[in-house]
Amino acid sequence: MAKYLINPAIPDIGCLRKFGLPEDYFKGTAPQPFTLPSNVLVWLRENEEPSGLDACHYRYLLCFNFLTQGNAVVDQCVYSFDPYQGMLIFPFQFHHFRSPSQKNRQWILITFEMNETPFFDQCKNRIFSADKNMLLLLRNLIDAYTDEKVAKASQNRVPLLLGLLLNEIALGFQKSSPRQRTNKTAFAPKLALTVHKYIYAHLGEGLGIKTIAREFGMSESRLRTKYREELGISLGKTLQTIRFGRAQELMTAPGKSISEIASACGYQSLYAFSLAFKKRYGVPPRQFRQRIVSAG
């Protein structure tokens, strides 16, 4: 028995011995409350994403960069995104990733659904460095996800491992000093910031780029060029993404009809909104809303 207890393949029980017996057999640890993530998708991004991919939606996005320095553009702020760094992006945050090289990318993207909890608020709008514990959990998560994809059946390991990974990320921010908690690499391009504010303030007015350019005293071509220089994405795509992101956000809240949502997002008719929405997502707005409600 003594030989078995010192076997390195089993846990070291010496640390338990020093605590003795429990003082209260019905009172244990008090974990931070958060629900496990669900409906998890994991993929490797090595090239440009399809043009239809949303950059503003109702899911969480956890991104890791493992090759080539790039930038993460989140809510009009630009963050330096270096290898072995990651970022957790919250639902309905406008986001876009870019790197100097369109070919030499190795970014792991994980999207999922999860109830909001204050425990993860400390992770918002912040880049983190992936330590060895995070990397081990990420590797196990990818292995579990691959196994489940091959078996075409859930084994519960993916949400559990992702929950542990998110917990490590949040604890990492808790342990960091106030000086380390400031993202010195984030900056907000002046033009993009003011353009986004204007779009959100006037979204229900059926904005076009011509109207926006007139507001900022520029030609359409000049505005498009300056905007792309700052964020690396076209203004037209941004406007469309914000509209659909706002539509999804309104769909998660009760009280507004699809017709009211269409109007709030700048569409002149329910028909035009439904047509554009189905073209982008493959399903009509009502069906998409049912999917969101079921997921919640």
Decide if 84 contacts 65 (C-beta within 8 A): yes
Q: Residues of CATH 1.10.10.60 domain(s) within the chain?
A: 190-295
Average pLDDT over residues 175-191: 62
Structure tokens at 45: 């991004």
Average pLDDT over residues 3-8: 48
pLDDT the model gives residue 65 = 93
pLDDT the model gives residue 7 = 54
pLDDT in tens, 237-278: 889 888 988 898 888 877 889 999 999 999 999 999 999 999
* Residue 54: pLDDT band with limits 50, 70, 90: low
pTM above 0.85, yes or no: no
Give the CATH fold of the 38-175 domain. Jelly Rolls (2.60.120)
Query: Cα(175)–Cα(182) distance, rounded to whole angstroms?
Result: 13
> Per the CATH hierarchy, to which homologous superfamily does domain 190-295 belong?
Homeodomain-like (1.10.10.60)
Reply yes or no on whether the pLDDT at 185 is more than 60: no
Q: How many CB atoms lie within 10 A of CB 50?
A: 6
Decide if 289 contacts 251 (C-beta within 8 A): yes
Q: Residues of CATH 2.60.120.280 domain(s) within the chain?
A: 38-175
Query: Cα(78)–Cα(187) distance, rounded to whole angstroms?
Result: 5
Kindly state the greatest CA–CA separation across the chain.
Answer: 83
One DSSP character per residue, 155-197 reads: -SHHHHHHHHHHHHHHHHHHHS-TTTTS-TT-B--HHHHHHHH
